Amino acid sequence: MTIRTETRGGALTMGALAMASVGGSVAVSGVLADAPLFTVQAIRYAAASLLLLALARVARVPLRAPRGAEWLWLVGVAATGLVLFNVALVRGSEHAEPAALGVAVACVPVVLALVGPVLEGGRPARAAVLAAVVVTAGAVLVQSGGRTDLAGLGWAATVLACEVGFTLLAVPVLRRHGPWGVSVHTCWIATVQLGVLAVVTEGPAAAATLRAAHVAAIAYLAVVLTAIAFILWYSAVGRLGTALAGLLTGVAPVAAATVGVLLGAGVPGAAVWAGTALVVTGLVLGVRARPAGHPAPRENVELLADRPAGA
């Protein structure tokens, strides 16, 4: 289970797989539409935390306790990228079609291309920003817009901010904790936050209302969309930097459309094919924007999942 990010191609693959799992999980998340939100998410992240701890022990990956300001960054990732993000998706769906919320997520590459390099001690590269715009345009085409109202726009903006925070707020702690540490700590912190919300708003007995289908969906989300995808994503961010890794978020809507076809939703229309072509074009532009020998961001150098303690 040891995951290394030694090659750029491997990191790109990790990031793409993480985003593909996000897109492919849309149908699974729909199973939980009638389940108690906070209770479901608390169970999901609790299960993911236990799984990550077990895998880290088997792989002999050292996990360090947060210290000082690291607590603020990790709590921020959990509160925005995990807790508020899920709330915004559910509440936003009451005012907007899923495609409209998907377009908000599709804007992530542009934001990361502009803000990410600044946080990493550099400045945005024009080629990277151009690539991000192309990927975003393609993702918007794949999502094909969607109906919404004013409240829906507000929730869509919240979804965008939370998705960006999930990556950017983790950058300051990735160097010391690595993808495993960030994943473990954000999951258990989110479990505590969601557990409190679940008890206060839904009551301790809410878990008893879950059906077998709910439990199966929670298990899938905990294993694939959380434990595995988090490690893959933060490994990619650590090796590629936020700007280039952010381009890979364009894979999510394409994967969602692909899964829809496999589940019998029919062959996508011309807009989806055109959007997919734009996403691929943007990814190619982004990969070529930085030479292969360009060093990784300073904060994230030497992110080897199995580096020994004290190294």
Would you state the pLDDT for residue 291? Answer: 43
CB 19 within 8 A of CB 102: no
Beta bridge partners of 148: 96
Is the alpha carbon torsion for 208, 81, 246, 298 positive or negative? Answer: negative
For residues 247-276, average pLDDT: 72
Would you state the pLDDT for residue 267? Answer: 65
pLDDT in tens, 121-158: 777 778 878 887 887 787 777 666 556 677 777 887 88
Structural domain that includes position 185: 18-292
Structure tokens at 223: 């294993």
Beta bridge partners of 310: none
Q: Which residue has the higher pLDDT, 198 or 238?
A: 198
Residue 46's pLDDT band (cuts 50, 70, 90): very high
Q: Which residue has the higher pLDDT, 307 or 260?
A: 260
Would you state the pLDDT for residue 137? Answer: 80
For residues 46-71, average pLDDT: 95
Would you state the pLDDT for residue 136? Answer: 77
pLDDT in tens, 222-243: 999 899 999 999 999 888 888 8
CA 92, CA 87: separation in Å to the nearest integer?
8
Q: Which residue has the higher pLDDT, 225 or 107?
A: 225
Does any domain span residue 223? yes
Provide DSSP, 35-101. Answer: S-HHHHHHHHHHHHHHHHHHHHHHHT---PPP-TTHHHHHHHIIIIIIIIHHHHHHHHHTTB-HHHH
Does any domain span residue 10? no
> Average model confidence (pLDDT) for the chain?
80
Does any domain span residue 7? no
CA 28, CA 44: separation in Å to the nearest integer?
13
Does any domain span residue 4? no
Domain count, the chain: 1
Would you state the pLDDT for residue 146? Answer: 56
Does any domain span residue 11? no
Would you state the pLDDT for residue 263? Answer: 62
Predicted confidence (pLDDT) at residue 1 exceeds the cutoff of 50: no
pLDDT in tens, 272-299: 677 778 777 877 777 776 543 444 444 3
**Which residues are CB-neighbours of 159 under 8 A, at least 6 positions away?**
85, 88, 89, 92, 101, 104, 105
Within 10 angstroms of residue 60's Cβ, the number of other Cβ atoms is 11
CA 245, CA 230: separation in Å to the nearest integer?
13
Would you state the pLDDT for residue 82? Answer: 94
